[in-house]
Amino acid sequence: MQVKEVRQRFLRELVERESLGTQEEVAAALARAGFPAAQATVSRDIRDLNLVKVPTADGGHRYHVPAGPAGPAPEVRLGRLLAEAYQSLARANNLLVLKVLPGNAHAVGAVLDVMTVPGLLGTIAGDDTLLLVAQDEAAAKALEGMLRPSPL
């Protein structure tokens, strides 16, 4: 078994039993267990394992392993995340700014990054804000329609 597979298996178990809310906390816990990893490695592991951030009782957030072997399909995950965390969406030409509840931007960005979204060039996620870069204005409008919740 390769080091990556062993590290990711350990990370999955670690996240299930410990409350780790940041990539720095994940990296420190991995290092303590003998798996030193750079931030980029931790980020890839989080993406590969489909880890998501969930709210904690104290108002913080922690990484969580989604249900099932690989979790639900990305489109389903995106729908659930947006249903629970969506705040606002604004478009300027080919750029979109998506606001979500604190701690959810990374999860939304990670799901969008694994989906095949026509015209989406990439995402940049903070804590509660995502910048989505579309190929052109037409792609941005289509993406806006996909992300904006339908009125009740």
Q: Give the domain ranges of the chain.
A: 3-64, 74-147
Pick the CATH number of 74-147 from 1.10.3720.10, 3.40.50.300, 4.10.80.40, 3.30.1360.40: 3.30.1360.40
Write the pLDDT tens digit of every residue in 8-50: 888 988 888 888 989 999 999 999 989 898 988 998 898 888 8
Question: Token match 């931790």: residue?
Answer: 42
What's this model's pTM, rounded to 2 decimal places?
Answer: 0.56
Question: Token match 């990296």: residue?
Answer: 27
| CATH classification code of 3-64 | 1.10.10.10
CA of 75: how far to CAs of 26, 43, 57, 99, 137, in Å?
Answer: 27, 21, 27, 18, 22
Q: In sequence order, what E strands does 5-118 have?
A: 52-55, 61-64, 86-92, 95-100
Please state, rounded to an integer, the average pLDDT across all residues of the chain. 87
